[in-house]
Amino acid sequence: MADEAKAKGNASFTAGNYTDAIHHFTEAISLAPDNHVLYSNRSAAHASLRKFAEALSDAEKAVQLKSDWPKGYYRVGTAHMGLRRYDDAVAAYKNGLEINPNNEALKSGLVAAESAASRTRFASPFGDVFAGSEMWARLESNPTTRAFLQQDDFKNKMLDVQENPSALNRHLKDPKIMQALGVLLNVKLRRPNSDEDADIPDAETTEEEPEPEDMEVPEEEREARERKKEAHKEKETGNAAYKKKDFEAAFQHYTKAIELDDKEISFLTNRAAVYLEMGKYDECIKDCDKAVERVIELESDFKMIARALTRKGTALAKMAKCSKDYEPAIETFQKALTEHRNADTLKKLNEAEKAKKELEKQEYFDPKIANEEREKGNEFFEERNYPEAVKHYTEAIKRNPSDPKAYSNRAACYVKLGAIPEGLKDAEKCIEVDPSFVRGYSRKGAIQFLMKEYDKALEMYQEGLKHEPRNQELLDGVRRCVEQINKASHGDLSPEELKEREVKAMQDPEIQSILMDPVMCQVLIDFDENPKAAQKHTRNPVVMNKIQKLVSAGIVQMK
């Protein structure tokens, strides 16, 4: 059963359905908790959803279970990379290479991790300030920061910076973090003006501190400050126009703000948003690219790169509705996420990837070719070449996912190949696609009969008869199920058959639920010890239905 769940997880992972993959791997782990491969696979699925903390937990468990397995260390390194813990990633990749020095994946990971670690150290000159317990001692010694330490939000941010000093960039807008940095550096820091804007609008303005009366300010600097103030006024007016959906006016004000102060990156990203609303996607992309260039040039907050790239990706995604090419948008969203993980960006990425898949399905859809492929599958089925038949049925399904015959035929192939779970899944899909297609019911009933789930098979055959009451295949299925169920009812099962049914039944959630029901427990006691009470129970159709399920499963015998 663990192998079946693992196979389902692998299939979901390959199809890009990472949430389903996690569900199946979790089910497999519950059945085989000491299987290191299952934790590794679930780690990969978590990483694909950018849930790197969960990915790291699973990867470390895989290493714990099998410390001489290189892939486990690769998973650990990948998770650390996602968490931007580059030094830890380097260590993980090196540990894996000690076991297998020729592993290409570990080699590539090590190169990337060392490069990222080098960039991080170069970009964080304050790294040593946050090292060890000294940081906490210095914060505790200052009355102001001592009070901050009572706040979980502040502590979490400082922990984030301590683990990865480059993370300081994302917290510089927090005055408490700035004050803490001043304490650690033993200097008085003033919070820098923010060039980050709420997505639009943002009513805040940047105010200049007044200069002492006896200090003369050079004329050139005074003019620059006045221009900056005027630029922010234009931005505020643009924000107000944007809120009113007066995009022409917003465009004029943001453009004026850019002319007055070309170093304020939010002016560009705001104007890009206006272009986006106006459907001027090329202009939007140009402003976003310019914003990215300015962030790099001015060494500004990396979040602004993520914002600009997300806006650019949104424009590309809208253009893709005509061009039918979502790949540029997907690549741009992915780049944005490498700069800063943002829920909105991740949502847009998922939407673009989904749109791409839907487009590919639509372009691939061809009922004529689907019928041809299904006929080829039938020919190979007649020749008993079941693997080749599966190949053609699969192609038929891709060409026309709404054809129930292809699912039904492939289910029959899977049964012939002994792949019962896959056959059952196809039979269920067949019924889902077309509930009136009776062959789907007979196919699923036959598989359930093969699995010795006679009561479920009986229900399936009966469900099919609602659509076609005289279908001989369904009627024969009902007869066979009743014969098997009666064997259990009359106590005609051999000890081996009885034991087999009991073991299988105890794995069925429905049977478990009946046996754990206090009312049903009392009913069973009454049948054994209180004939008068048992007679009342026989008049209750719900109770008798549950008893019949226990009889069919071999748990209870009626004599």
- Please count the other Cβ atoms lying within 10 Å of the Cβ belonging to residue 431: 22
The answer to whether the bond into 201 is cis (omega within 30° of 0) is yes
Give the residue extent of every domain in the chain.
2-123, 127-185, 228-341, 496-559
Question: How high is the pLDDT of residue 83?
Answer: 84
Task: Provide CB contacts within 8 A for 407, sequence distance 6+.
Answer: 397, 426, 427, 429, 430, 433, 440
- Give the ranges where 434-540 is alpha helix by DSSP (H): 438-450, 454-465, 472-489, 495-505, 509-516, 518-529, 531-538
Instruction: Specify the fold of 2-123.
Output: 1.25.40
Question: How high is the pLDDT of residue 17?
Answer: 83
Residues with pLDDT less than 50, the chain: 122-124, 190-199, 201-215
Cβ–Cβ < 8 Å for 371, 341? no
Question: How high is the pLDDT of residue 352?
Answer: 93
pLDDT tens digits, one per residue of 50-71: 888 899 999 999 999 999 999 9
Question: How high is the pLDDT of residue 137?
Answer: 74
Residue 84's nearest CA partner among 110, 117, 61 is: 117
Name the residue with tokens 């990472």. Answer: 18
Could you say which DSSP state residue 190 is in? -
Instruction: Record the pTM.
Output: 0.42
Report the C-alpha dihedral over residues 545, 546, 549, 554, rounded to 10 degrees: -130
Cβ–Cβ < 8 Å for 555, 511? yes
Written as six digits, the tokens of 418 are: 């002994």
Residue 310's nearest CA partner among 302, 298, 322 is: 302
d(CA 223, CA 498): 94
Residues 451-460 as b or e (16 or more Cβ within 10 Å = b): ebbbbbbbeb
Q: Do domains 2-123 and 228-341 have the same CATH topology?
A: yes
- Please count the other Cβ atoms lying within 10 Å of the Cβ belonging to residue 47: 21
Q: With respect to CATH, is domain 496-559 assigned 1.10.260.100?
A: yes
Written as six digits, the tokens of 482 are: 């009743």
Written as six digits, the tokens of 410 are: 């492939």
pLDDT tens digits, one per residue of 363-422: 888 999 999 999 999 999 999 999 999 999 999 999 999 999 999 999 999 999 999 999
Task: Provide CB contacts within 8 A for 240, sequence distance 6+.
Answer: 201
Cβ–Cβ < 8 Å for 117, 124? no
Question: How high is the pLDDT of residue 114?
Answer: 83
Please state at what angle helix 36-48 crosses helix 52-65, rounded to 10 degrees.
Answer: 160
Cβ–Cβ < 8 Å for 208, 231? no
pLDDT tens digits, one per residue of 290-335: 999 888 887 667 788 889 999 999 999 999 988 889 999 999 999 8
Q: Three-class SS of residue 306?
A: helix
CATH no. for 228-341? 1.25.40.10
Written as six digits, the tokens of 114 are: 């060392």
d(CA 177, CA 148): 9
Which contacts of 237-245 are long-range, i.e. CB under 8 A and separated by 24 or more positions? 238/270, 238/274, 239/200, 239/201, 239/202, 239/203, 239/270, 240/201, 242/200, 242/201, 242/270, 242/273, 242/274, 242/277, 243/201, 245/277
Written as six digits, the tokens of 58 are: 């699973």
User: Which amino acid is located at 145 in the chain?
Assistant: T
